[in-house]
């Protein structure tokens, strides 16, 4: 399985309602072929180490080929297109286990 972790730092102008809408919109990515596990949500850690990243997403892909097909997919581009205007920075981290 390939884990695809993404953290989103949002623009300061992003409201709490918009943050919740972003996390909900990202859930549409769970419908892409090859996705076997999915979660997204808003950071609520009390450690103070998020460095401004407020929304996180984890996708478990069946294999590397599924991740490779996801990245350029129309669905991926469409979903990200709905919310990317709120992004200030993004971290992506993939690993296989």
For residue range 65-89, list pLDDT tens digits in order: 999 999 999 999 999 999 999 999 9
Q: How far is CA 29 from its chain centroid?
A: 9
C-alpha pair distances (Å), 86 with each of 5, 69, 80 = 18, 25, 10
Tell me, which fold does domain 2-96 have in CATH?
A: Alpha-Beta Plaits (3.30.70)
Instruction: Name the H helices within 1-97.
Output: 16-26, 64-70, 74-83
* The predicted structure's pLDDT at residue 11: 98
> Shortest CA distance to 25 belongs to which of 41, 3, 1, 45?
41
> What pTM was computed for the model?
0.94
Q: In the chain, what are the domain boundaries?
A: 2-96
The token pair at 87 is 């992004």
């Amino acid at each position: 399985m390939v884990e695809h972790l993404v953290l989103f730092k949002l623009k300061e102008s992003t409201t709490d309602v918009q943050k919740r809408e972003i996390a909900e919109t990202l859930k549409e990515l769970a419908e892409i072929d090859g996705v076997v596990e999915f979660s997204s949500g808003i950071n609520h850690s009390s450690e103070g180490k998020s460095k401004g990243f407020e929304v996180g997403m984890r996708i478990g892909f069946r294999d590397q080929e599924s991740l490779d097909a996801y990245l350029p997919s129309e669905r991926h581009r469409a979903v990200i297109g709905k919310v990317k205007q709120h992004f200030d920075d993004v971290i992506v981290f993939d690993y296989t286990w």
